[in-house]
Structure 1
């Protein structure tokens, strides 16, 4: 069994602390800063042995060096971004498998937000860590890639079982949902979800993780039927001020 703990860091990032209860191994996904991560692990009596990075951005890797120095953890990072993640020990790409105890995660290359972005998919556990590729009701900005690449990513993610839990890296759901209502004004599922999201945020509660099934119903980027539609939605969201 995987025990997954959400750790808020910086202004709106989430770091995921993942513990295998059988092997007693622990890893952390995208530690943007170290102190909250180390404190969360210590509070649970867990020892971090690995850091898994989805991409090079500092709000995902900024805590690597300090966590590594404190714990001896090895950093697993995308091979395509090795030059930008100097703390990396093991470089991985499409089709590679990384493990936490007996739990195996396949590496998916999902370029777009950054050129070498990856995701970690635990197929048997129905869990995926998507970094800044798929968000609740949104997707990542195209800083280093194309709409065609992101559309390909969405097509891959659509094929996952709907019960797959999606652990993304930011609390963007409310702003994403405001745009989603504009992109699909007749989508009742979006309206209903936003009522829940607004209540949760008003109470100071997190809105992630999410699921592939929920995103299939309410995420205008995952629902885009062509790369051209996704590109138009991405440009509109980038300019959206609602």
Structure 2
């Protein structure tokens, strides 16, 4: 595989991701909730870190950046609109930018909603999307800074990606997200099957991240706000897709 990806548990329920492009031996990490777990992976693998990629400014995604930069000398890249509240950036990235990790091309997309200036990293050839808190396993991030319309528009961008895309999101929230999803469509067999798989994985201490975009499109109520069955379940058959999304997000905020 040209892109080797390791999921790194951090803090209580965060994830960072270490990526190695195998042809060039270039190594990057997406988000740094804390430095030590990432340093441990690098030491175990015998890898040198070249790049730190940041999705957004929340502390639980950037707290370990300065320690990791000091220990590795890696460059730091993040969103240009977020630069004023991120650790000092060597490279500022904007929606539509691309950059190389060895032979792999990464595409940057704006995924504002959870925060303004949140970005995601899309490796189209490797079928890997690093979405942090914009699209989560069986959920999406709370809309703290943007608007509900913004977050819904962000989720539409994921509808355009291949269903085989792997979604690397920022938190182990899948069990609680699933319990909420079942309040929307309690008899949905796909939801029930995913809930069982999620509970089985967690019982074994296994992460439920990353997930698969096809699975998210089939079971994630936030992505399904345009689906007639979801609208009917909410009694919102005549509402716009964005209005239905806002209702689902509001219910989750109070779940």
Q: TM-score, normalised by structure 2?
A: 0.93
Question: Would you say the 8 A contact 1:65–1:87 is kept in 2?
Answer: no
C-alpha distance in 2, partners of 1:79/1:190? Answer: 38
C-alpha distance in 1, partners of 2:99/2:146? Answer: 25
C-alpha distance in 2, partners of 1:86/1:210? Answer: 29
SS in 1 for 2:50: strand
- Residues 1-242 of structure 1: pairs in structure 2 closer than 5 A: 1-225=2-226, 226-240=241-255
Q: Which runs of 5+ in 2 are unaligned?
A: 227-240
Shift of 1:202: 1.3
Question: Deviations along 1:114-173, whole A, 9 cap, x unmatched?
Answer: 100000001111110001000111000001011101111111101110000000010010
SS in 2 for 1:82: helix
> Highest Rg: 1 or 2?
2
C-alpha distance in 2, partners of 1:99/1:56? Answer: 23
Question: Would you say the 8 A contact 2:7–2:15 is kept in 1?
Answer: yes
C-alpha distance in 1, partners of 2:59/2:100? Answer: 24
Question: Deviations along 1:169-199, whole A, 9 cap, x unmatched?
Answer: 1001000000000112232101111011011
Shift of 1:86: 2.8
How many residues align structurally?
240
SS in 1 for 2:218: helix
Question: Would you say the 8 A contact 1:171–1:207 is kept in 2?
Answer: yes
RMSD value over aligned CA atoms?
0.8
Question: Would you say the 8 A contact 1:4–1:16 is kept in 2?
Answer: yes
SS in 2 for 1:138: coil
Deviates more, 1:211-220 or 1:82-91: 82-91
SS in 1 for 2:224: coil
Question: Would you say the 8 A contact 2:66–2:87 is kept in 1?
Answer: no
Shift of 1:239: 0.6
Deviation beyond 2 Å, 4+ runs, structure 1 = none
Question: Would you say the 8 A contact 1:16–1:30 is kept in 2?
Answer: yes
Question: Would you say the 8 A contact 1:113–1:144 is kept in 2?
Answer: yes
C-alpha distance in 1, partners of 2:106/2:225? Answer: 27
Shift of 1:3: 0.5
